[in-house]
Every structure is written in structure tokens, then in C-alpha cells.
């Protein structure tokens, strides 16, 4: 496979983003159809190339792409390149296929939005950044992609930025993930500092020509406590991105973004980037036992912790958000036990069925105008397609055979089961409890949404549906209807994948595991006992949900009394938001630290006078700003920057530099 | 035990910074005297005296042929720098002379601030000319920028505040971009002293380490953004028209020449030293400068044609003039030793002549403006009957800006274009000549208005009678004419200055 073709995987969506942002939106207006055509076309190209890359890796196993030196200072040489191995190929296919389907679906979902082209600009930009992250053969380039997906996530969560809740959610997501990234950055710095002095540090992940690269030699080169700390830093970054405890609080709020965004970024791809990162650096984790144990425990704890909150949410997207956090926990659990294959297999399956569930919830919202399940009900009659695919997605998530979720969850349960010891036992119990809760919350959601009687949709907004988003007309609320084909077809394709994506790792062939073999994955045989326990837990969960929300054998209100303290704890999300915002931000930072600092500034007079003077200045300034704000200033800066970019580009294009 | 530090080991040499030191003291004196002086006109004379003394010190540096580095290599003293200091000081002196009438009328509350800041800005520009170290260059740049921001905002009306804010924000961006370029340059060479850079760069190139290096290109381009902003070259010129329109007229005249001269000096210093002396031909930066030159000349001249406001017209004119001067800078990097000297002295000569011409124009504009002027070209109608001297000065100044004989910029243009032809950049000379034709159209439009009869012949405004304003107009006028008729004295001085700057 020529190198240019691999670069084109990244470049095509990037070109679409630039094209949309700089040409289509200014010249053809913010709702032009061309934005959709360009994005889907570009991601289609990436998807085709990704399939090609997968087939090449499948047959060849070894694809060595060159590294290009872009900066050299004395010994230090920064060489940028792409890495194509089994892990990358899998991620490429997941990202491009889900992205492609979501883009198509979005056309139906976002058609009435006034910022249609802006939406596609960001989505294309995100896809390009995510592919950069996945393909990078250099930690620095990887970090660039890592931060760019964070930026795109911020922009898309806050897509409807006129809503205060969306703006706040975007800010929260940005700050919390950035908190994790801080430790990731420290880990990168740690690698730089602790790297053996006799070999230059290149940050290349895999470089056959270098004496030492990160993945082959990193574990041996960096040893002891330093390596553990580096691994923990990487895990902290991953935990922020993948919303693992205790950095999970941003993901449920991130549901303020458009639903296709939630499906693509906050279910299938970006949040899986943390799993990808740890999987990528598994050779380092191999040498750091403590760090691996911590990864496993965080994952295992998050599985149950997040699933329990999913049990009580009334907002369908929040249920799915907690579900995502919980499922990502499974993947970390597996990685912590060194099981690359099962973790990636679950990532692969989860991407499809979770994207499906999210798109299903978007379809429901399209019909009813709300995400509040208390206002839904009975939709299976008016939305048979959506009901069908949602049902398939739920079965897959609940781990019912033969749907794909069963196979990968079974592998993870099997790993924990055979790992043994205290750690293995704890993790197995957590995983089984998680499986039970997963089945319970998703079927509760299914029943509340699609069964029973229709409870009025957005018309009853008095109940306080803060999550009904404004771009959908209220007229949808009155009479729910099936979504248009442009939305149903992507869901149907995902439904097929949710049933059958496990065929790639069919027990007899193990194609998927073969792909990852060079990275140290080995075939996991099916173990009857843990699989059976997991299945029973899942069926039990479905049973309880049926009893409470469908069959009427036990009515939900009748048990809510005795369980009130528990449900209260769960609906308040274990008071984590209160802990972060109330205790840490308000009490510690604001009331203690800032007051403490203000104490040094006891002379109020000085401050007041300064403020007054500034006020006078400000009044004059205001006259100026009013004029500045008409865009001339931005225009000046735009011209200045474009000028500089054109000059550099001219050198690269005609001067043959670079 | 700490090593005792003495003046010699740090290379402290007050002599080499004498003009700057004198001017700083003058600025402080002006601000202090402002507190006690009842007649504020004395401040103008004090400032003029300070500038004259600093000029005397600069002349002393010139005649004693002072050269070398001081302050641990941060300050470079050579005839090139001293020549630019003299241009800067000359421009400042003329600006101070035509200020009192305007300050009296429009800025009566801010005499001390006005002159103090003016002197401090000049100090910043003089430092800029002689700095041999990147961080100090940024500091000098910021000294003058902040002083200029305050000066632009001094009118305190909406337009003036707006333009000051724009200037502040845009120069902050330009400086940040430039700093980024400097950081990359530092990363590549490991030094911030520009004198050390050629050696390091040449060494790296010899090793094959820097050849084809995108980072170096990026550094050079980012530096060009910063300096291009200072000299108002396209495409970094967007700030110029609004700022010219909003700022007090004498300040516009002042920084249209002085700040530009300092900007060119530092551009040449950094580019010639770092890129040219290192023998780095991969960049082909003369071509880049040439392209910027053509863009500046063409855009400046074409857009100037449609202006109705005389200050905006002069703003676009100054963009175009930056383009002409850039021709000389491009030639400096494109030829052998003799072409190099020809081009360098051409730039110096052009800047000197431009200083006289542009300040003559601004002085005359102040003399001709009415109390509630809106600076439209219409207002100049019948200017001859209001103030014959100002009308003559403005006419000559505009003729000089077109580049017609017998004026300084005629010689300057011939000088630059001749250098371009010698340096194998004949297409730049051609573009410059064509642009001069175009510029005649808009430069001569105000002239026609001036000598038309009609218009309100009412107020021969009191500003026109101000002695210092008339003096400054006459001095500029004489300067423009002298440089046009007997340019040889300045040419040989400029050649000496460029010889000191030759690698």
C-alpha cells in the first residue's frame, strides 16, 4: 500500500473540513447541501482506503511506512510518520465506517439546522483528527490528534452554544478531559527525561531504523517507578478521554450535543481513544504491574459505578451515556489484565451497537421532540423500524447470544475468570454485576420508550424536559412518526453489524485475534462457566426490567419507597458533581483559597479606586470596541494569518521545502 | 565566591548608547517640567532640544566612527545604525516642530504626555536599530509600540480610541507571531544573538542539518509577519488605514516615517545577518521580499485612488512606499558585493528623502486643516489662498512622493530601480516604475484642489501662523529639494553607512 494512500485517509476529511469551512460556508451559505456531499465523499474515500489498509495488514501483517524528519536540533530529531498495524487497521475501519453512517444519518437529523455546514465542518475535522490519532507513529503527532479530537468534541458538544446548558457542558468536558491530558503530557515529558542517555529520544512508536523505539524497547528502557508513573500518566489521559472514574462526570453532560455527535464521538470513537491509547502502549504496561492493576481496578469499578447510575436516569441519552462509560470500563478491565484481543474486540462490537442505540434515541427524539422517557411510551407501533433496531442494539448490549455484545463480553468475563486470585475474583464479580445492571437499564429504557402508552412527548414540557433541544420543531411532538429513510438506513446497517460484527472473530477462525497477534494478543477459548454466569446475569436483568416496567408483576412505585435512599443516591450521581463543583471549586478554591488570597489585599480603597478608574477607561474603550466588533479587526487578523500561511505554503509547493 | 562584576566585563559603554540615554533623560525632564510649567509651549522646545542633543551625540558617534558591540553583545554600534538613528531623530525633530499648534488646539490637556511619550517612542526606535539580540529587539519594539498606542489614543474620541485599540491588539498579535519565529530560530541555532547565528546556521548547513528545513522557513516567515507589520507591507497592512484615520495628525506623520525607518533597519539587520551571511540560498528570500514589494506597491497605489479622506490616502500611500523600499531590500540579498552596497545605500537614501517628503506633507496638512476638519480632500480646495506656504510645501511633497524631479524621492527611486536592474531584478524595477505612473493620479488630485480657486477662503487658521510649524515645513521643503538637486553628500554618507554593514 503506497504511503500517500495512507496519508490520504487523514487528508481527505481534513480537506473536506477546510473546504466546508473556508469555501462552502462563506460562499454558499450556512445550509448548503454541498457541505454534506463533501464530507460524505471524503469520509467515503477514507473508508475505502481503510478497508484496503485492513486487507493489506491482514495478508501482509508487516507494513513499514517511512518516518519524515521535520525538526532536527542537535541530537534530537522529530520524525513524523504513520503506523499501520492490526490495531490501527481495526480502529481505522471502526472510525471511518461509523463516521460514514453517522454523517449520512445526520443529513436527516440536522437538515433544519441553521448551522448545517458548520456541523459538517466540525464532523469532518473530528474524523480527520481521530484518524491522525490512530495512525500516528510518533507520540507527539498522536498527542496532536489527541488534543484535536478534544477540541472538536468541545466544539460539537457546544454546537448549540446559545443554550447555556450546552455551553456549560462543553466547558465541563473540555476542562475535565484537559485535567487528564495534563498527566498524559507529564508522561510524555517523563519519557523524554527518563529515556536512556546514550540513545536519542525520538518519540517514534515503532521505528525499525532506530536503535530504540517506544513500543519495542520502551518497556526495557524505562524501568521501575518511573515507568509506573509514566503508565499512570498515560492512564490518566485515557481516563479523561474515556470518562473513567473519577473523571467520568463530563460524558453524561456531553449529551447536550446533537445526537449524531453523541453517537460518533461520545460512544463509538473518541471515548474509545483512551482504550486505544492504553492498548497502544500495552508493551509499556506489560512491564509495570502496579499500573496495570490500577487500570484493571478503575475499569472494573467504573463498570458497576456507571451502570448503577444508568438504572435510574430518565433521559434516554443519559442512560446510554452511562452505559458507554460502563462498557468502556470493561475494556479497561481487560487491558489491565493484559488482554489486548478481548478489549479491542469489545471496542469493535461496542462501537457499532452503541452508535446504533444512540442513533435510535436520536430517531425517537426526531419523532417526539424530547429525550425524556417519561414522556414517551408506545412508540413501537408508530416507529417499527426504530423499535426493531433499538431492540437489536439492546440485546447486543445486554450480552444475549448470538448478538455481538455477547461474544466480546464473554471473552472479558473469561479473562477475569481464568486470571484467578483476589484481583481476578473481584474483577469477575464486578463484571457480572455490571452485566446484570446493563441488561436491566437498557431494557428499562426500551420498555419506557417503546412499550405501554404514548405519554405525550414534548407537549408536556411542564414536567421539565431540559433536554428537549430547540432545533426540532414542536410540531414533531404531537404526532410521532417514523424517521426518514436517510436516518433509518444507517441504523439498519448498524443493526446488521450489531448482530454480526462478531463474525470477524468467529470462534473457529479468529481473524480478529490474528490481526492483533503481532501485538501480543492470543486466542481466547470460550469458557462455558463464566459465559453461562454472564448470560444468566443478563437474563436476570432483563427479567427484572420486564417485571417492573412491562409485565406489571411488580409496580415500580411500590418498590421505590423502601429503595428511596438508594435511588436518591443514584439520581444524584453519587454526588460527584456536587463534590467537584460544590466542594472543590466553591468551598476549597473559591471560599478558602481565593479568600485567603484576598486577605492580602485588605486595602479595599485601592481596589475600588482602581476599578473606578478602569470603569472610566472602559467607558471610553466601549466606544471603540463597538466599532471594532463589526468585524474589521477579525478581518485584519484573517488577512494577516492567511498571508503568512500562503507564504509558507508557497515555499512548500514551489520551493520544494519540507 | 561570586565573581565581582565590573562595567568592563559586561561591556557597558555609555558612549554607544549616548543618544538613547540623552533622549530618555529628556523624556523624564519633559514629564517633570509639565508638572510645574505654566506655559506648556516650553515643553515642545525642551523636547526639540533633547532631540537635538541626542542628534549631536549621534553625530559624534558618526564622526568618531564608533563601531563594535557593547553590553555583552546586545548593542551593536555601526555607521548603519547611527545613520538610522539620525533619520529617526530628524523625523522626530520635524514632528515635534509641527506639533505645538495641533497640540494646543486638540490635545490641550496632554502636553506633557504627548511630548514625553513621543520621546520615549523614539528611544524605543533607536534601540531597535542597534539591538543585536532577539529578546532585546522585542523589548525595544514593545517600548515604542506602547508609547505609540497611548499617543494614538490621546484624542480620546471614538475614532482615536478605536484605532489605538486596533493597533494594540494587532501589534500584540504581530509581536506574538514574531516571537514564535524567534523561538524557532533559537531552537535551531541555540542562540539569541544575531551575530552568532550565521556561524551556527552555516555550520548546520555544512553538516546538511538545516538544508531543506521547513522550520527555518517558518521562522523566517513568522519574522517577516512581525517586521512586515511594522513597515506596513502587504499583507500585514490592514491596521494602517483605520489607525491613520483615527490618530492625531502629527502622530500619524511621525510614525509613518520614523517607525517605518526603524522597522526597515531591524528587518535588514536580522535578515541580512542571519540569512544572507550564512550563505543560505535555499530560502530565496529576495524573491519573497520582491513579491511582497510588488503586492504592497500595487495594492497601496490602486486602493489609494478611490480614497476621499486625505489621511486614508496617505495611509495607502505609505503602504505603497514600503513596497518601493522593499525593492531595495530584495536587491540586497540578490547580488554581489557592489550591488549590495548600492541597494543598502539606496534604501537609506530613500528613507531619508521619504522622511522629509512625508513630514512635509503632514506639516502642510496640519497647517491647512480647519478646526472641525473631517480630513476630506475636498477641504483642501482653495488652500492656496489660505496658506500659500503650506500649499507650496504640500505640492512639492506630493510631487516628491510621485517621484518627479527635482525632488528627493525622484533621486531615491532612480537609485533603487537602478540597483534593481544591476542586481538582476529588472522586473522589480519595471513594476516600481509602472506603479509610480499609477500613483501620479492620486497624488496630484489634492494638488489640483489646492490651486483651484473657490472653497471657503474664510479662516487662515491660526495654526498656519505657528512659527515652529512654518519652520518645520520650510526645513522639510528644503530637505526635499536639496536631496533632489545635490544628493551627492547624502549618497556618499549612505554608502559609508552601508559599507559598515557589509558582511
Average pLDDT over residues A80-85: 86
Among A175-179, A321-325, B399-403, name the one with the lowest average pLDDT: A175-179
Average pLDDT over residues A276-294: 87
DSSP state letter for B76:
E
Q: What is the pLDDT of residues A544-596, one digit of tens each?
A: 888 777 765 555 566 666 677 777 777 777 777 777 776 666 666 666 666 65
Q: Which of B162, B177, B188 lies closest to A624 in CB terms?
A: B162
Q: Which of B169, B213, B235 lies closest to A633 in CB terms?
A: B169
What is the percentage of chain B residues whose pLDDT exceeds 70? 91
Whether pTM > 0.95 for this model: the answer is: no
- Looking up cell 555609555 gives B14
* CA A293, chain centre distance (Å): 23
Q: What is the pLDDT of residues B40-87, one digit of tens each?
A: 889 999 999 999 999 999 999 999 887 888 888 889 888 999 999 999
Q: Find out whether A348 and A497 touch, Cβ atoms under 8 Å.
A: no
> DSSP readout, B461-495?
-GGGG-HHHHHHHHHHHHHHHHHHH-THHHHHHHH
Check CB contact under 8 Å for B213 and A657.
Answer: yes
ipTM confidence: 0.78
Q: Which of A637, A646, A651 lies closest to B217 in CB terms?
A: A651
Q: Would you state the pLDDT for residue B30?
A: 94
Cα(A440)–Cα(B448) distance, rounded to whole angstroms? 89
Cα(A345)–Cα(A512) distance, rounded to whole angstroms? 8
Q: Find out whether A482 and A384 touch, Cβ atoms under 8 Å.
A: yes
Residues of B in contact with A629 (CB under 8 A): none
Helix (H, G, I), strand (E, B) or coil at A136: strand
All cell numbers assigned to A355: 452508535
All cell numbers assigned to B440: 501620479
pLDDT at residue B373 is higher than 80? no
Residues of A in contact with B229 (CB under 8 A): 640
Helix (H, G, I), strand (E, B) or coil at B107: coil
pLDDT at residue A14 is higher than 50? yes
DSSP state letter for B280:
-
Minimal CA separation from A198 to chain B, in Å: 21
All cell numbers assigned to A593: 483559597
Q: Find out whether B107 and B21 touch, Cβ atoms under 8 Å.
A: no
- Looking up cell 487491558 gives A335
Cα(A604)–Cα(B428) distance, rounded to whole angstroms? 63
Q: Find out whether A531 and A405 touch, Cβ atoms under 8 Å.
A: no
Q: Would you state the pLDDT for residue B120?
A: 95
Q: Does B166 touch chain A (CB under 8 A)?
A: yes
Minimal CA separation from A627 to chain B, in Å: 7
Q: Give me the long-range contacts of A488-491 (CB less than 8 A, separation at least 24).
A: A488/A363, A488/A385, A488/A386, A489/A104, A490/A101, A490/A102, A490/A104, A490/A105, A490/A359, A491/A105, A491/A356, A491/A359, A491/A360, A491/A363, A491/A385, A491/A386, A491/A389
Check CB contact under 8 Å for B235 and A635.
Answer: no
Q: Would you state the pLDDT for residue A57?
A: 86
pLDDT at residue A245 is higher than 60? yes
Give A467's pLDDT tier (boundaries 50, 70, 90).
very low
pLDDT at residue B239 is higher than 90? no
Average pLDDT over residues B116-142: 93
Average pLDDT over residues A54-64: 80
Q: Find out whether A348 and A512 touch, Cβ atoms under 8 Å.
A: yes
Q: Would you state the pLDDT for residue B462?
A: 59
Q: Which of A71, A633, A647 lies closest to B166 in CB terms?
A: A633
User: 176-235 in B: which are within 8 Å (CB) of A?
Assistant: 177, 187-188, 190, 209, 212-215, 217-218, 221-222, 224-225, 229, 234-235
All cell numbers assigned to A268: 463509538
> DSSP readout, B158-210?
HHHHHHHHHHHHHHHHHHHHHHHHHHHHHHHHS--BTTTHHHHHHHHHHHTSS
pLDDT at residue A459 is higher than 50? no
pLDDT at residue A465 is higher than 50? no
Give B458's pLDDT tier (boundaries 50, 70, 90).
low
Measured from the Cβ of residue A72, the count of other Cβ atoms closer than 10 Å reads 18
Question: Which helix (H) or strand (E) covers residue A81, if one does?
Answer: strand A76-81
Cα(A239)–Cα(A230) distance, rounded to whole angstroms? 14
pLDDT at residue B335 is higher than 70? no
Q: Find out whether A239 and A209 touch, Cβ atoms under 8 Å.
A: no
Q: Which of B189, B215, B222 to mutate to test the interface with A (most CBs of A within 10 A)?
A: B215
All cell numbers assigned to A6: 495512507
Minimal CA separation from B40 to chain A, in Å: 25
Amino acid at each position: 500500500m503506497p504511503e500517500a494512500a495512507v496519508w490520504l485517509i487523514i487528508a481527505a476529511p481534513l480537506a473536506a473540513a477546510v473546504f466546508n469551512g473556508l469555501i462552502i460556508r462563506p460562499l454558499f451559505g450556512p445550509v448548503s447541501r454541498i457541505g454534506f456531499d463533501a464530507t460524505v465523499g471524503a469520509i467515503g474515500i477514507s473508508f475505502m482506503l481503510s478497508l484496503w489498509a485492513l486487507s493489506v495488514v491482514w495478508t501482509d501483517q508487516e507494513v513499514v511506512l517511512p518516518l519524515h524528519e521535520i525538526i532536527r536540533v542537535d541530537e534530537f530529531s522529530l520524525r513524523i510518520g504513520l503506523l499501520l498495524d492490526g490495531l490501527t487497521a481495526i480502529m481505522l475501519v471502526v472510525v471511518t465506517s461509523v463516521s460514514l453512517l453517522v454523517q449520512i444519518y445526520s443529513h436527516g437529523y440536522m437538515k433544519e439546522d441553521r448551522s448545517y455546514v458548520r456541523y459538517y465542518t466540525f464532523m469532518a475535522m473530528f474524523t480527520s483528527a481521530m484518524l491522525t490519532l490512530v495512525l500516528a507513529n510518533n507520540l507527539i503527532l498522536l498527542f496532536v490528534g489527541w488534543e484535536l479530537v478534544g477540541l472538536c468534541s468541545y466544539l460539537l458538544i457546544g454546537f448549540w452554544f446559545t443554550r447555556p446548558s450546552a455551553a456549560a457542558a462543553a466547558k465541563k468536558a473540555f476542562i475535565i478531559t484537559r485535567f487528564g491530558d495534563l498527566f498524559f503530557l507529564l508522561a510524555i515529558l517523563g519519557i523524554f527525561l527518563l529515556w536512556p542517555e546514550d540513545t536519542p529520544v525520538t518519540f517514534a512508536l515503532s521505528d525499525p531504523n532506530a536503535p530504540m523505539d517506544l513500543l519495542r524497547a520502551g518497556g526495557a528502557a524505562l524501568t521501575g517507578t518511573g515507568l509506573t508513573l509514566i503508565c499512570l500518566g498515560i492512564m490518566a489521559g485515557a481516563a479523561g478521554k474515556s470518562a473513567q472514574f473519577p473523571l467520568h462526570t463530563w460524558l453524561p453532560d456531553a449529551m447536550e450535543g446533537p445526537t449524531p455527535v453523541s453517537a460518533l464521538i461520545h460512544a463509538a470513537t473518541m471515548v474509545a481513544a483512551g482504550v486505544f491509547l492504553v492498548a497502544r502502549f500495552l508493551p509499556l504496561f506489560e512491564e509495570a504491574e502496579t499500573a496495570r492493576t490500577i487500570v484493571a481496578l478503575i475499569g472494573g469499578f467504573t463498570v458497576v459505578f456507571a451502570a448503577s447510575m444508568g438504572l435510574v436516569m430518565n433521559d434516554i441519552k443519559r442512560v446510554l451515556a452511562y452505559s458507554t462509560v460502563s462498557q468502556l470500563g470493561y475494556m479497561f478491565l481487560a487491558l489491565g489484565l493484559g488482554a489486548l484481543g478481548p478489549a479491542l474486540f469489545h471496542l469493535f462490537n461496542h462501537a457499532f451497537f452503541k452508535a446504533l442505540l444512540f442513533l435510535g434515541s436520536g430517531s425517537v427524539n426526531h419523532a417526539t421532540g424530547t429525550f425524556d422517557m417519561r414522556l414517551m411510551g408506545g412508540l413501537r407501533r408508530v416507529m417499527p423500524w426504530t423499535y426493531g433496531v433499538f431492540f437489536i442494539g439492546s440485546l447486543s448490549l445486554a450480552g444475549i447470544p448470538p448478538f455481538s455484545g455477547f461474544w466480546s463480553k464473554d471473552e472479558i468475563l473469561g479473562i477475569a475468570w481464568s486470571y484467578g486470585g483476589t484481583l481476578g475474583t473481584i474483577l469477575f464479580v464486578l463484571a457480572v454485576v455490571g452485566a446484570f445492571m446493563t441488561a436491566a437499564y437498557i431494557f428499562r429504557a426500551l420498555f419506557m420508550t417503546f412499550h405501554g402508552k404514548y405519554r405525550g412527548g414534548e407537549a408536556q414540557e411542564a414536567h421539565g424536559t431540559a433536554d428537549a433541544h430547540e432545533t426540532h420543531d414542536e410540531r414533531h411532538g404531537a404526532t410521532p412518526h417514523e424517521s426518514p429513510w436517510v436516518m433509518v438506513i444507517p441504523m439498519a446497517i448498524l443493526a446488521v453489524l450489531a448482530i454480526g460484527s462478531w463474525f470477524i472473530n468467529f470462534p473457529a477462525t479468529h481473524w480478529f485475534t490474528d490481526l492483533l497477534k503481532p501485538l501480543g494478543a492470543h486466542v481466547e477459548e470460550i469458557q462455558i462457566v463464566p459465559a453461562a454466569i454472564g448470560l444468566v446475569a443478563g437474563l436476570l436483568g432483563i427479567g427484572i426490567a420486564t417485571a417492573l416496567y412491562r409485565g406489571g408483576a411488580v409496580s415500580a412505585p411500590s418498590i421505590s419507597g423502601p429503595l428511596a435512599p438508594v435511588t436518591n443516591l443514584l439520581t444524584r450521581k453519587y454526588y460527584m458533581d456536587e463534590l467537584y463543583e460544590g466542594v472543590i471549586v466553591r468551598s476549597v478554591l473559591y471560599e478558602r483559597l481565593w479568600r485567603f488570597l484576598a486577605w492580602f489585599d485588605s486595602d479595599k480603597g485601592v481596589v475600588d479606586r482602581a476599578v473606578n478608574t478602569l470603569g472610566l477607561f472602559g467607558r471610553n474603550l466601549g466606544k471603540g470596541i463597538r466599532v471594532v466588533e463589526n468585524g474589521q479587526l477579525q478581518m485584519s487578523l484573517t488577512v494577516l494569518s492567511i498571508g503568512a500561511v500562503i507564504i509558507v505554503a508557497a515555499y512548500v509547493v514551489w520551493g520544494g521545502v519540507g | 565566591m561570586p565573581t565581582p562584576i565590573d562595567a568592563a566585563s559586561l561591556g557597558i559603554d555609555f558612549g554607544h548608547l549616548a543618544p538613547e540615554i540623552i533622549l530618555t533623560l529628556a523624556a523624564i525632564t519633559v514629564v517633570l517640567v509639565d508638572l510645574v510649567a505654566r506655559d506648556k509651549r516650553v515643553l515642545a522646545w525642551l523636547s526639540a532640544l533633547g532631540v537635538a542633543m541626542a542628534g549631536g551625540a549621534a553625530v559624534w558617534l558618526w564622526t568618531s566612527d564608533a563601531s563594535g558591540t557593547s553590553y555583552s553583545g546586545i548593542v551593536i554600534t555601526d555607521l548603519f545604525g547611527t545613520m538610522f538613528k539620525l533619520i529617526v531623530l530628524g523625523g522626530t525633530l520635524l514632528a515635534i516642530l509641527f506639533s505645538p499648534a495641533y497640540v494646543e488646539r486638540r490635545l490641550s490637556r496632554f502636553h506633557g504626555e504627548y511630548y514625553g511619550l513621543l520621546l520615549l517612542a523614539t528611544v524605543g526606535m533607536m534601540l531597535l536599530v542597534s539591538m543585536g539580540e532577539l529578546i532585546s529587539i522585542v523589548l525595544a519594539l514593545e517600548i515604542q509600540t506602547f508609547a505609540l498606542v497611548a499617543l494614538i489614543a490621546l484624542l480620546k474620541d471614538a475614532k482615536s480610541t478605536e484605532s489605538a485599540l486596533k493597533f494594540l491588539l494587532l501589534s500584540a498579535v504581530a509581536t506574538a507571531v514574531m516571537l514564535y519565529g524567534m523561538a524557532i530560530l533559537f531552537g535551531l541555532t541555540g542562540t539569541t544573538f544575531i551575530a552568532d547565528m550565521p556561524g551556527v546556521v552555516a555550520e548546520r548547513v555544512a553538516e546538511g542539518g538545516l538544508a531543506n528545513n521547513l522550520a527555518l522557513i517558518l521562522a523566517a516567515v513568522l519574522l517577516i509577519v512581525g517586521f512586515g507589520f511594522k513597515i506596513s507591507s502587504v499583507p500585514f497592512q490592514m491596521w494602517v488605514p483605520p489607525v491613520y484615520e483615527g490618530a492625531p495628525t502629527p502622530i500619524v506623520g511621525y510614525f509613518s516615517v520614523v517607525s517605518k525607518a526603524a522597522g526597515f533597519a531591524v528587518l535588514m539587520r536580522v535578515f541580512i545577518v542571519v540569512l544572507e551571511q550564512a550563505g543560505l540560498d535555499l530560502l530565496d528570500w529576495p524573491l519573497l521580499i520582491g513579491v511582497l514589494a510588488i503586492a504592497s506597491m500595487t495594492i497601496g497605489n490602486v486602493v489609494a485612488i478611490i480614497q476621499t479622506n486625505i489621511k486614508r490616502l496617505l495611509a495607502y500611500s505609505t503602504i505603497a512606499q514600503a513596497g518601493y523600499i522593499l525593492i531595495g531590500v530584495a536587491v540586497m540579498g540578490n547580488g554581489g558585493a557592489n550591488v549590495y552596497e548600492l541597494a543598502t545605500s539606496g534604501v537609506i537614501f530613500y528613507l531619508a528623502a521619504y522622511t522629509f517628503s512625508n513630514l512635509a506633507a503632514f506639516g502642510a496638512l496640519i497647517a491647512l486643516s480647519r478646526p472641525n476638519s473631517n480630513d476630506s480632500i475636498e477641504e483642501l480646495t482653495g488652500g492656496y489662498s489660505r496658506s500659500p506656504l503650506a500649499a507650496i510645501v504640500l505640492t512639492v511633497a506630493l510631487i516628491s512622493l510621485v517621484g518627479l524631479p527635482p525632488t528627493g524621492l525622484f533621486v531615491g527611486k532612480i537609485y533603487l530601480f537602478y540597483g534593481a536592474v544591476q542586481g538582476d531584478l529588472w522586473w522589480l524595477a519595471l513594476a516600481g516604475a509602472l506603479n509610480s505612473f499609477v500613483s501620479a493620479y492620486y497624488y496630484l488630485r489634492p494638488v489640483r484642489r489646492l490651486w483651484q480657486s473657490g472653497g471657503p477662503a474664510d479662516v487662515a487658521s491660526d495654526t498656519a501662523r505657528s512659527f515652529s510649524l512654518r519652520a518645520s515645513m520650510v526645513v522639510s521643503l528644503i530637505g526635499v529639494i536639496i536631496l533632489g538637486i545635490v544628493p551627492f553628500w547624502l549618497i556618499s554618507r549612505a554608502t559609508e553607512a552601508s559599507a559598515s554593514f557589509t558582511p
